Amino acid sequence: MTMTSLDEQARAILRGNDQGGYTLPTHGLYPYQWNWDSAFAAWGFATFDNARAWDELDTLMASQWDTGMVPHIIFHKPDPGYFPGPDVWQTGQSPATSGITQPPVAAIMARKVWEMDPKAGQARMAALYPKLLAWHRWWHEVRCTHGPAAITHPWESGRDNCPDWDIGMAGVDGSSAGEYQRRDTGHVNPEMRPTKQDYDRYIAMVKFGCSVDWDQARIVRDGPFLMADPGITFMLLRADEDLAVMGRALGEDVTELLGWAEDLRAALPTIWNDDLHAYDALNLKTGEFANILGSGAFMAYLADAGNPQLDAQLMRVWDKVNYGIPSADPEAATFDPRKYWRGPTWPVVNALLAIGLRDAGRADLAERLRAQTASLIRKHGFYEYFDPLDATPCGGADFTWTAAIWLTWAGRDVESDAVRGAA
């Protein structure tokens, strides 16, 4: 299979998943618009249709709540193939949305899209800027009250069932979930998906949100789950700084944004676990660290927050596998190479890490990661995630963000990366 044919396949996947203004992650398994998936889709579209890239971001931000939160799913058209659907979330939004958010990578991706065609993107960016700013304000005012960025549901992290959340999940009573029918396990191999116990707890948390009318202050204060997420903390920090670059280019006063970024950077020691020699997830309800190394910690490079101890941890976990960065520590007892976020490698996370490594002056490591990610896609196609030991493709096929990552990064050699804004 030639490079060109994979480029064509990737573009065909983006077009095939395009619903007119927004893109599904993949047909069947995920039949709606997802927040951070859309941001990556925009980056992918920008390689061949810059206007369509901005449309994707516009559609996402059009469902922003009055509070500034941008929901993790937008249920544009009813689809019985996904659970939990809008009837379970009951957020009263139109179009219907979930009641939680997802990693704030939209500003990071908007900056890339803009830099790929600054002239064409100027007006589009100006229109988007206040919405992104309001979303960041929401993150800082509502979710950084303990310092680092906190999540109230594992789905917010985008790394749903990673071992980072096990200690927080243990405190969630899943018995209120009641009877329900999962749909995900009918689309893909159930062994590669979260367990029934996980789902009971996920649904119990959704029910808690409904019970307080999605009042964020109450969810943070009284909800069953509250953990600091290193991954989101670093992505938000990077996104603040990228948004400030765009703000300056628009002639905006970015003092507030830079203040948020400074506060967040000052809070990083809170999530540094000395025993683990790494950043770690922290249960804000008990003050306990998760004591497990996850791929969220490595997002530190995105925010210029790497250090020699983290470098050593990165090389340790990377050298234990053959393809990409594992989502969880391969030397931990909880490691499972095919179970979703408990071990598999995710092209989209590899791409974010490579951006950080490149910025940290480690182009050699970024290239190693790119080559490994490309080999997974060349071997098996545009899967959702892969076994990092033997490259087995996992989860959904013809996946939007994997196709986008191919077009922007994994399928590019070092020279063309710069052209596509991946540097």
Q: What is d(CA 136, CA 130) in angstroms, rounded to the nearest whole number?
A: 10
For every residue of 220-241, DSSP letters joined together read: HHHSS--EE-HHHHHHHHHHHH
Q: How many CB atoms lie within 10 A of CB 246?
A: 24
Q: Which of 29-37, 87-95, 267-275, 323-331 is the region at the interface with ligand 9WN (rule: CB under 6 A)? A: 29-37
What is the number of helices (H) and of strands (E) in the chain? 18, 10
Q: Which of 31-39, 109-117, 282-290, 326-334 is the region at the interface with ligand 9WN (rule: CB under 6 A)? A: 31-39
Q: Is 37 a catalytic residue?
A: no
Q: Which of 32-40, 113-121, 128-136, 363-371 is the region at the interface with ligand 9WN (rule: CB under 6 A)? A: 32-40
Instruction: Check binding of 43 to ligand 9WN (CB under 6 A).
Output: no
Query: In degrees, to the nearest 5, what angle opens at C-alpha 41 toward C-alphas 418 and 164?
Result: 95
Sign of the CA dihedral with 389 first, then 393, 399, and 402 last: positive
Ranges within 45-84 binding ligand 9WN (CB under 6 A): 72
Q: How far is the CB of 419 from ligand 9WN (least distance, A)?
A: 27
Ranges within 118-177 binding ligand 9WN (CB under 6 A): 155, 158, 160
Task: Give whichever of 72 and 362 is closer to ligand 9WN, judged by the CB atom.
Answer: 72
Q: Pseudo-torsion of CA 391, 396, 400, 406, nearest 10°? A: 10
Q: What is d(CA 352, CA 417) in angstroms, rounded to the nearest whole number?
A: 14
| 56 Cβ neighbours under 8 A, 6+ residues apart | 21, 22, 23, 38, 39, 41, 42, 45
Q: Which of 33-41, 45-53, 248-256, 283-291 is the region at the interface with ligand 9WN (rule: CB under 6 A)? A: 33-41
Instruction: Check binding of 294 to ligand 9WN (CB under 6 A).
Output: no
- Which among 7, 160, 252, 263 is annotated as catalytic? 160
Closest CA to 343 of 393, 384, 387, 377: 387
* Interacting residue with ligand 9WN among 25, 147, 324, 337 (CB under 6 A): 25
Q: How far is the CB of 22 from ligand 9WN (least distance, A)?
A: 13
Q: Residue 387 has what DSSP assignment?
A: -
Number of chain positions touching ligand 9WN (CB under 6 A)? 10
Amino acid at 200: D
* Interacting residue with ligand 9WN among 18, 33, 37, 231 (CB under 6 A): 37
Instruction: Check binding of 36 to ligand 9WN (CB under 6 A).
Output: yes
Q: How far is the CB of 17 from ligand 9WN (least distance, A)?
A: 11
8 Å CB contact between 305 and 360:
no
Q: How far is the CB of 397 from ligand 9WN (least distance, A)?
A: 13
Task: Give whichever of 185 and 211 is closer to ligand 9WN, judged by the CB atom.
Answer: 185
Burial string for 381-395 (b: 16+ CB within 10 Å, else e) reads: bbbbbbbbbebbbbb
Instruction: Check binding of 34 to ligand 9WN (CB under 6 A).
Output: yes
For every residue of 286-343, DSSP letters joined together read: T--B----BTTGGGGGGGT---HHHHHHHHHHHHTSSSS--SB-TTSTT--TTSTTSS
Task: Give whichever of 87 and 262 is closer to ligand 9WN, judged by the CB atom.
Answer: 87
Task: Give whichever of 387 and 417 is closer to ligand 9WN, judged by the CB atom.
Answer: 387
Q: How far is the CB of 205 from ligand 9WN (least distance, A)?
A: 12
Q: What is d(CA 408, CA 119) in angstroms, rounded to the nearest whole number?
A: 20
- Which among 37, 384, 398, 417 is annotated as catalytic? 384
Q: Pseudo-torsion of CA 146, 147, 149, 151, nearest 10°? A: -10
Q: Is 336 a catalytic residue?
A: no
* Interacting residue with ligand 9WN among 10, 11, 14, 30 (CB under 6 A): 30
* Catalytically annotated residues: 160, 384
Give me the residues that bind ligand 9WN (CB under 6 A), please: 25, 30, 34, 36-37, 72, 155, 158, 160, 184
